[in-house]
Structure 1
Amino acid sequence: MLNLERLRTLDALARHGSVSGAATGLHVTTSAVSQQMAKLEREVGQQLLARNGRGVRLTDAGRLLADHAARILSQVELAQSDIEAQRGEVVGEIRISAFPTAARGLLPAVFATLRRDHPELRVHVRELEPEDGIRAVIRGDTDLAVVLDWSNKRLPVPGGLTRAELLEDPPDIAMPVGHRLAGREEVDLEDFADDDWVSWPEGEFCYDWLMFTLRSKGIEPRIPHLAGEHHTQLALIAAGMGVCVAPRLGRGPVPDGVRLVPVRQRMRRHVHAVWRTDADRRPSVRAAVTALRLAGREAESS
């Protein structure tokens, strides 16, 4: 009889591509991963891993068993969903990830709703950028991820995941109060062709969106300043270091010396929740999505 936890370890190795990655995803030590794999190899009587430089790779037998493991674990997820759905109780735990401004602007209200309505449910949170959140859901490291995309640049959602819209988040342009356009009621992005920009770090989805959007308008942006936190970006704007896109969700207090002006074009961040379709019937997932939708409506109306 194959041990389910050892199959879970093999599945994590196949998905993460390394012992250290599998250990991180499973929240165990690398030695625990190695021990589980050694036991699994003894169970099946075949070598499942081979050395590959400093790392390891799956053998043909390892890949074959990993494919079966993925299907078995998916069936286990479905069984858990069915049992929870039949029982109808929102209990156990749920793991939620969210990008930073959603973690700040949505999750506190979500936690309050779940604590009030479902006190037996334990909620765990991780702050992850959208693409990392989707990968965590696919790997099974997270049950539900709050992600975003933009009206002119959508974030692909792979098959096997379900998505629910939570809210639209209109951004403003943040600029120093002494900026030449600070007195405007609305602005166009083209108005800032000659300005320095403060942006999210390179490689993040919103950085790529900013580059894509400005270049589509014939602007080759100058981005000398990169900061991951919106509060840091706004502090740099207050110091006169450029302009930035400032979404409203989770924005919080705006520093003195910063002026926010709406963008004339219809430019929106779309905020979604995504989860594995085979977990769709779990009461805990449904309860979390309901709480997220409620928090989204409240954020839009505030």
Structure 2
Amino acid sequence: MLNLERLRVLHAVATTGSVVGAARLLHVTTSAVSQQMARLEQETGAHLVERQGRGIRLTEAGTLLADQAAELLAQVERVMATMAQHHGEVTGDLTLAAFPTAARGLLPPALRALRSRYPDLTVSMREQEPSEAIPAVRRGLLDLAVVEDWIDDPLALPQGLEHRTLLDDTYDIALPQDHRLAGRSTLSLADLGDEDWITSSNGQLCHEWLVRSLKQARITHTAAEHPTQIALVAAGLGIAIIPHLGREPTAAPVRFVPLADAPRRRVFAIWRSTSAARPSVGVVIDALIEACPA
């Protein structure tokens, strides 16, 4: 009979693409991974991996077994989640990722509430963009993630993931306090065509929206963090579009003006369907909802 833990090792190698990655994922040494793979090859009577340059790749037999292992491990996770639900205890470890503004605006109060209510639950958080967090959840590298999309351009989630909307977030235009438009009660994109823009880097949500909506936008500075963008605005170096979520009070000489045709983003949590019955997943989602601004 095949050993489940060795199948888990094979799945980790297939998921991460390397022995080193599998070792990091499983929190073991690389030699332990290699030993388990060698034993699995003995059990199956087949070569499961082969050298490719300085790394390895799965053979045809390895790919076949890894696919079957993924299905089996998903079923095991489903069974374990069902048993945890039966016992009703909120215990164990859970990994959670969130994009930067959600990590700043939602996670601190949610994690504080969880630590107070469920001392036997350990939640580990990392800051990660949706493009990395979504495949990590699907592949089992994360238990949950807080991600984002535009309400009028929803994200297509991979099969096997479930989601729940946490909040709809809106945006304002950040202008230097002495800007010619700073006294306006609202602005439109038509008002801003000749401005210098400060935005996030290419590939991030705000940047893509700006390029799509204002095709001639002059992007003069990019910064990943909104506080950095606000500091650049305060220095008179351009304007920026800033979300409400995670925005901290600032004494900087900046004025926030609503944008009449502003985008609205949906902030939502995702998790694997196979883990949906875990009580720990449910209480984390509840804590995230409670942490959302009114």
Q: Is the 1:91–1:284 Cα contact (8 Å) retained in structure 2?
A: yes
One of 222, 231, 242 as aligned partner of 2:227: 231
Q: Letter of the 2:158 partner, please give it.
A: P
Is residue 57 from structure 1 mapped to residue 61 from structure 2 by the alignment? no
Is residue 263 from structure 1 mapped to residue 259 from structure 2 by the alignment? yes
Query: Scaled by the length of structure 2, what TM-score is found?
Result: 0.94
Structure 2 residues not aligned, in runs of 5+: none
Q: Report the equivalent of 1:117.
A: 117
Structure 1 residues not aligned, in runs of 5+: none
Question: How far apart in 2 are the matches of 1:4 and 1:213?
Answer: 51
Question: How far apart in 2 are the matches of 1:140 and 1:250?
Answer: 28
The correspondence of residues 23-102 of structure 1 with structure 2, limited to 5 A, is 23-102=23-102
Question: How far apart in 2 are the matches of 1:157 and 1:256?
Answer: 39
Q: Report the equivalent of 1:275.
A: 271
Is residue 286 from structure 1 mapped to residue 259 from structure 2 by the alignment? no
Question: How far apart in 2 are the matches of 1:109 and 1:117?
Answer: 12
Q: CA deviation at 1:106?
A: 0.6
Q: Is the 1:153–1:209 Cα contact (8 Å) retained in structure 2?
A: no
For residues 182 and 29 of structure 1, do their structure 2 counterparts lie closer, same or farther at Cα, with a shift above 3 Å needed? Answer: farther
Deviations 1:88-139 (A, max 9, x none): 1111121111111111111111112212322221111111111211111111
Question: How far apart in 2 are the matches of 1:192 and 1:4?
Answer: 59
Q: Is the 2:231–2:252 Cα contact (8 Å) retained in structure 1?
A: no
Q: Report the equivalent of 1:167.
A: 167
Question: How far apart in 1 are the matches of 2:267 and 2:206?
Answer: 13
Q: CA deviation at 1:30?
A: 3.8
Q: Is the 1:238–1:255 Cα contact (8 Å) retained in structure 2?
A: no
For residues 28 and 201 of structure 1, do their structure 2 counterparts lie closer, same or farther at Cα, with a shift above 3 Å needed? Answer: farther
Q: Letter of the 1:59 partner, please give it.
A: T
Q: Is the 2:150–2:265 Cα contact (8 Å) retained in structure 1?
A: yes
Question: How far apart in 2 are the matches of 1:203 and 1:158?
Answer: 19
Aligned residues: 294
Q: CA deviation at 1:255?
A: 4.2
For residues 24 and 178 of structure 1, do their structure 2 counterparts lie closer, same or farther at Cα, with a shift above 3 Å needed? Answer: farther
Q: Report the equivalent of 2:131.
A: 131
Question: How far apart in 2 are the matches of 1:173 and 1:75?
Answer: 48
Q: Is the 1:234–1:255 Cα contact (8 Å) retained in structure 2?
A: no
Q: Is the 1:168–1:271 Cα contact (8 Å) retained in structure 2?
A: yes
Q: Report the equivalent of 2:242.
A: 246
Q: CA deviation at 1:29?
A: 4.2
Q: Letter of the 1:257 partner, please give it.
A: P
Deviations 1:130-157 (A, max 9, x none): 1211111111111110011112332221
Question: How far apart in 2 are the matches of 1:220 and 1:28?
Answer: 51
Q: Letter of the 1:196 partner, please give it.
A: D
Q: Report the equivalent of 1:213.
A: 213
Q: Report the equivalent of 1:222.
A: 218
Deviations 1:17-50 (A, max 9, x none): 3334333433444444333322322222211111
Q: Is the 2:95–2:143 Cα contact (8 Å) retained in structure 1?
A: yes
Q: CA deviation at 1:62?
A: 0.2
1:163 partner SS: strand
For residues 46 and 290 of structure 1, do their structure 2 counterparts lie closer, same or farther at Cα, with a shift above 3 Å needed? Answer: same
Q: Letter of the 1:132 partner, please give it.
A: E
What RMSD, in angstroms, separates the aligned Cα atoms of the two structures? 1.7
Question: How far apart in 2 are the matches of 1:191 and 1:105?
Answer: 30
For residues 9 and 220 of structure 1, do their structure 2 counterparts lie closer, same or farther at Cα, with a shift above 3 Å needed? Answer: farther
Question: How far apart in 1 are the matches of 2:131 and 2:269?
Answer: 12
For residues 184 and 30 of structure 1, do their structure 2 counterparts lie closer, same or farther at Cα, with a shift above 3 Å needed? Answer: farther
**Divergent runs of 4+, >6 A:** none
Q: Report the equivalent of 1:149.
A: 149
Q: Is the 2:182–2:255 Cα contact (8 Å) retained in structure 1?
A: yes
For residues 84 and 57 of structure 1, do their structure 2 counterparts lie closer, same or farther at Cα, with a shift above 3 Å needed? Answer: same
Q: Report the equivalent of 2:9.
A: 9
